[in-house]
A = this chain, B = another copy of it.
Amino acid sequence: MSGMLKRRGFILPAFEIHGGSKGLYDFGPNGGRLRNRVNQIWLDHWTSLGNVAEISCPTITPYEVLEASGHVGEFSDFMTTCISCEEVYRADTLLENDHPNPDSLSKSDLNNLLQNAQPPCPACDSNEWSPVAAQNLMFNTTIGAGKSGRDGFLRPETAQGMFTSFPSLYRHFREKLPFGAVQVGKGYRNEISPRQGMIRLREFNMAELEYFIDPEMPLDHDLAKWSEIDLNMVSESDGEVSISISAAVDAGIVRHGTVGYFIAMTYDFLIKVGIDKSRIRFRQHESNEMAHYATDCWDAEIFGSYGWVECVGIAHRGCYDLEAHEKYTGKSLRARREFASPKEVVIDGWTIDGAVAGPAFRSLAGKVKTAVENLPKATEFPCLLDIDGTAVTIEQEHVKRLQRTEVITGEWFIPHVVEPAFGIDRIIWHILDHAYHETTKQEEDYTVMKLSPNIVPVDYAVFPLFEKDGMGDIAQLLNKQLNSRLGIVSIYDSSGSIGRRYARADEIGIPHCITVDHQSVDDNTVTVRDRDTGEQKRVNIIDL
C-alpha cells in the first residue's frame, strides 16, 4: 500500500530529493486535502457541542511553560549509545527480545538488562553499550539572539497552550463551567530512532480537546443516542467486553461520565471519517500505566497493518495541569462555585494588632496580616514566618485574637480536565488502510480506495468520451462549474480509455465519475458512475 500512497500523492517521505529525513512526512496533492477535511470534521464535531471554542497557540513554547507542565523533567526516553559505532538507540527497543514489556522498566532495570543481555547493535552488530541515559524528546531552540535569547522548545502537545489560556477561556464562557477548548495543529517529538512510518513521527498533526469541569457538578450527558451500539472495550477489571457506553458507565467500568461521553463521541468521529467500526476498540489503562494524577484513561485503538495502534487517548487528568501552572506562576487559574445557599463560617484565630505591628513591619504589614490570619488557633508566639523569602519574627504583642462569623456565598476551585487527544496522522493512516481494496480486473491488479465521501481528496472526475465533437468543451465547462462550488474539487481527465480513467479515479477514491458522451451533446445528459457499486445512471447536467 505505501508504494501506492506515495505514487498517488497521499503520503510521501518529506524532502526526498534531498535524501529525506526520518520521521518527517509530506501530505501530497491527494493527502493534503484529505488531511484538511479530517481536521475540519474533527473541529466541527466538537464545536457543535456549543460550549467548545477553537483556539490556536504557537508551536514555539518558552522553557518556563514546559518546565511548569513537567515536560522538561519527564518527557524523555531512555537511550544508549553503541560503544563501537556511536549510533544512538532507545534502550527498550533493543531489549524487545529479552523482556515482554521493556518500556515499563526503570532506568536502572533497563541498564542491568542491557549489560546482561548485550543485544547486538542494529548498525554494526557490536554488543557493548554505554550506560542508559534519559534523553529529553523535545526539539529545542533559542528564541531571540544574544543576551535576550531565551531557551524554548517545539511543543510536544497542543494542550499546554490551552491550559495557559484558561483565563481567556473562562472570560469567554462568561465564567460558567463546563466548557472546552479545541486546537488542531503540529506537535513535535524528537524520537531517537523513528520507525513505523506514519505511526511514529517526529512532527505530527494532533487535535486535542481540553474540557474543564467542576468536579462537584452533577453530570448530565445524554448517552441514550448510543444505547444500541455495543463497543469493543478492554477494561482493567473485566477484560474484553462488548457493551454499550451507558452500560459501561453504569457498571463503573468507565469511571467517569464525561470520559464515557467522550468515548462515544470519539467512536462517532472515527466512523464519520471512514474508520471500519469492527476495527476499533477502547482499552483502559492499567492503574500502574496511568500518569499518577489521572483517575481514568482510555485509548481508542485501531487495527491495521501495524496491529492494534493507539490513535486517541481520553484521559481524566484531575486538576493536575491547571494546578501545575498556578503553582509555577502564582496566577489564579480557578473558577468560582456559588453555594446553593450561603454558608456561615466561624473564624477563630489571629490577626495583627495594627497599632503595634504597623510600625514594626511597615511595608510588609499587609503580607504579615494575611500570613497571621492563616495561622491555626493553637499557634504560640513568638513564631517565625517566611514573608516573601524574609524570615520575620512575630511577637505576642503584634497580634490579637480574631473571632467572628462570616457568611460566604461561594468558593474558588481549580477545575478538573477531561482530555481527548487525537493523533491525526495515525488516524489518517488507518483511514487509508481500511479504505484500501485490492482486487484484479481482467487479470490485472486493481485498487479501489473506498474512502468516505466526507474526506475524499477529489469529489468528482469529469471524462469526455472523446475531446472532439463538442464533448471536450462540455466536459471542461462542467469541470469548471463543479470546481467553482464551495468545498468541491473536480478533475478533468481525457487521456486513455474510459476504463483506464475509472481505474485511476478508483485508485484515489473519487466517489463519482461523470462521462460526457455523444448523447450529452444532444440532450445535456451525462452518465454518473458510482465508485463502490460500479453502477451508472444517466442524469441531466443541471441535476448534478
A190 contacts the other chain (Cβ, under 8 Å)?
Answer: yes
Whether the pair B145, A135 counts as a contact (CB closer than 8 A) is yes
A56/B40 in contact, CB under 8 A: no
Q: Which residue of the partner chain B has the closest CB to A26?
A: B57
Residues of B within 8 A of A150 (CB): 21
Q: Is A353 an interface residue (CB 8 A)?
A: no
Determine whether the beta carbon of B17 is less than 8 Å from that of A331.
Answer: yes
- Separation of A193 and B325 alpha carbons in the complex (Å): 27
Nearest chain B CB to A489 CB, angstrom units? 6
Encoded as 1 (CB less than 8 Å from any B CB) or 0, chain A from 224 to 260 comes to 0000000000000000000000000000000000000
**Bound CA–CA A472/B186 (angstroms):** 40
Asked if A24 and B58 sit within 8 Å, CB to CB, the answer is yes
Question: How long is the Cα–Cα vector from A149 to B439 in the complex, in angstroms?
Answer: 43
Contacts A145-B88, A145-B192, A165-B28; A33 near B54 (Cβ below 8 A): yes
Residue of B nearest to A174 (CB): B495
Q: Does A536 contact B (CB under 8 A)?
A: no
Q: How far does the alpha carbon of A48 sit from the alpha carbon of B165 in the complex, in Å?
A: 36
Interface: A507 (CB within 8 A): no
CB-contact partner of A35 in B56, B64, B329, under 8 A? B56
Residue A87 CB within 8 A of the other chain: yes
Count of A residues near B, CB < 8 Å?
102
Chain B residues near A190: list those with CB within 8 A. Answer: 142-145
Interface residues in A27-57 (C-beta closer than 8 Å to B): 27-33, 35-36, 40, 43-44, 47-50, 53-57
Q: Specify which chain B residues have a CB less than 8 angstroms from the CB of A333 in the assembled complex.
A: 17
Closest chain B CB from A152 CB (angstroms): 7
**Distance (Å) between the CB of A154 and the closest chain B CB?**
7
Q: Which one of A18, A202, A492 has the greatest number of beta carbons of chain B within 10 Å?
A: A18
Known: A21-B152, A161-B14, A190-B144. Is A29-B61 also a contact (CB below 8 A)?
no
Known: A87-B146, A88-B147, A165-B26. A31 touches B56 (CB 8 A): yes
In the assembled complex, how far is the CB of residue A135 from the closest CB belonging to chain B, in whole angstroms? 6
Give Cα A161 to B168, complex, Å.
Answer: 35
With a cutoff of 8 Å between Cβ atoms, the chain B residues found around residue A16 in the complex are 164
Interface segment out of the listed A357-365, A391-399, A479-487: A479-487
Does A148 belong to the interface (CB within 8 Å)? yes
Q: How many chain copies? A: 2
A492 to B54, CA, bound (A): 17
Tell me the minimal C-beta distance from A173 to chain B in angstroms.
Answer: 8
Restricting to A300-355, which residues have a CB under 8 Å from any CB of B? 325, 328-329, 331, 333
Known: A29-B172, A32-B183, A53-B33. A21 touches B165 (CB 8 A): no
Is A188 engaged at the interface, CB distance under 8 Å to the other chain? Answer: yes
> Inside 8 A of A30's CB, which chain B residues have their CB?
53, 172
Q: Which residues of B contact A53 (CB under 8 A)?
A: 9, 29-30, 32-33
For window 130-160 of chain A, which residues contact chain B by CB distance below 8 Å? 135, 139-148, 150, 152, 154
- How does the 8 Å CB contact mask read for A492-503 relative to B, with 1 for contact and 0 for none? 110100000000
Beyond A18-B325, A47-B489, A48-B483, 13 additional pairs, beta carbon < 8 A: A21-B58, A25-B58, A26-B58, A27-B55, A29-B53, A29-B181, A31-B55, A47-B483, A48-B484, A87-B148, A135-B145, A141-B141, A148-B193
Closest 7 CB pairs of A and B: A88-B146, A29-B53, A32-B54, A29-B172, A32-B55, A27-B56, A50-B483
Q: Which residues of A contact B (CB under 8 A)?
A: 7-9, 12, 14-19, 21-33, 35-36, 40, 43-44, 47-50, 53-62, 64-65, 68, 79, 81, 85-88, 135, 139-148, 150, 152, 154, 161, 164-165, 167-169, 171-174, 181, 183, 186, 188, 190-193, 202-203, 325, 328-329, 331, 333, 479-480, 483-484, 486-487, 489-493, 495
User: What are 22 A-B pairs at a CB distance below 8 A?
Assistant: A8-B172, A9-B172, A17-B164, A17-B167, A17-B333, A21-B58, A21-B62, A22-B144, A23-B143, A26-B55, A27-B57, A47-B483, A50-B479, A50-B483, A50-B490, A50-B491, A60-B154, A60-B202, A86-B146, A87-B148, A140-B141, A174-B493
